[in-house]
Amino acid sequence: MAIPTMTQLGFGAILAAAIAGSFSILGLIISKEQKISDFRREWVEELRADIARFMANATFIFAVMDSSTSDITEAQALTVLRAEIVAMFEASSRIHLKLDSTDPVTAPILATLREFEERVQSATPLSPATLGVLERRLVEQSRVLMRREWHRVRNGETVYRTAKTIAVITTIVSFIGLAAAGLLSLTR
């Protein structure tokens, strides 16, 4: 058995350091991307809560505005509705700040929110049937967005998926290289 030369030892050390360094970099990338996924998951949950608050407040407001279901005076209605209207517009503002109006998935959600807001601002009552249609539309539009975002959380960000693929390929190539080096040393 031959003793490795200094050049071979140096090359082996450099190769081992390069492999270790690449795994360190991949670990950092994967860690960062995991944190992004955690933030995205939190964002989805907050958006879901804001949409639920918006819909609950809007439903209450329109129920009070509907004279067929309300026996209170207009002054009482304004007193009761002030907090609900503020809460609805607060939830709406949070939703608007979270969504991109140029995204084809989020634009319809924002349009439906604006429709609700315009009805409240104009004090136009909605029949329970019309309210139900608007609520179902908002829920369905939101589900499309939530489904897309949960798929991103489940599958990981693009950089994460790429880094994971590189790590797997590097590991396989390293094991093949080690196996080949072991076989070569046995044949000598």
DSSP one-letter string for 37-70: HHHHHHHHHHHHHHHHHHHHHHHHHHHHH-TTT-
End-to-end CA distance of the chain: 8
pLDDT digits (tens, 9 = 90+) for 48-71: 999 999 999 998 888 877 765 556
In order along its 188 residues, the chain shows pLDDT tens digits of 566 666 656 666 777 777 787 778 777 877 887 888 888 889 999 999 999 999 999 988 888 777 655 566 667 767 778 889 899 999 999 999 999 999 999 999 999 999 989 888 887 777 888 889 999 999 999 999 999 988 888 777 777 778 778 778 877 887 787 777 766 666 66
User: What is the structure's pLDDT at 182?
Assistant: 66
Backbone φ/ψ region at 4: left (φ over 0), alpha (ψ -120 to 50), beta: beta
pLDDT digits (tens, 9 = 90+) for 93-122: 999 999 999 999 999 999 999 998 988 888
CA distances from 162 to 32, 126, 131, 144, 166 (A): 13, 50, 45, 25, 6
Name 175's Cβ contacts closer than 8 Å, sequence gap at least 6: none
User: What is the structure's pLDDT at 137?
Assistant: 95
User: What is the structure's pLDDT at 7?
Assistant: 64
User: What is the structure's pLDDT at 60?
Assistant: 87
Name 107's Cβ contacts closer than 8 Å, sequence gap at least 6: 101
Q: Which of 12, 24, 27, 44 is nearest to 164 (CA)?
A: 27
User: What is the structure's pLDDT at 185?
Assistant: 65
User: What is the structure's pLDDT at 40?
Assistant: 86
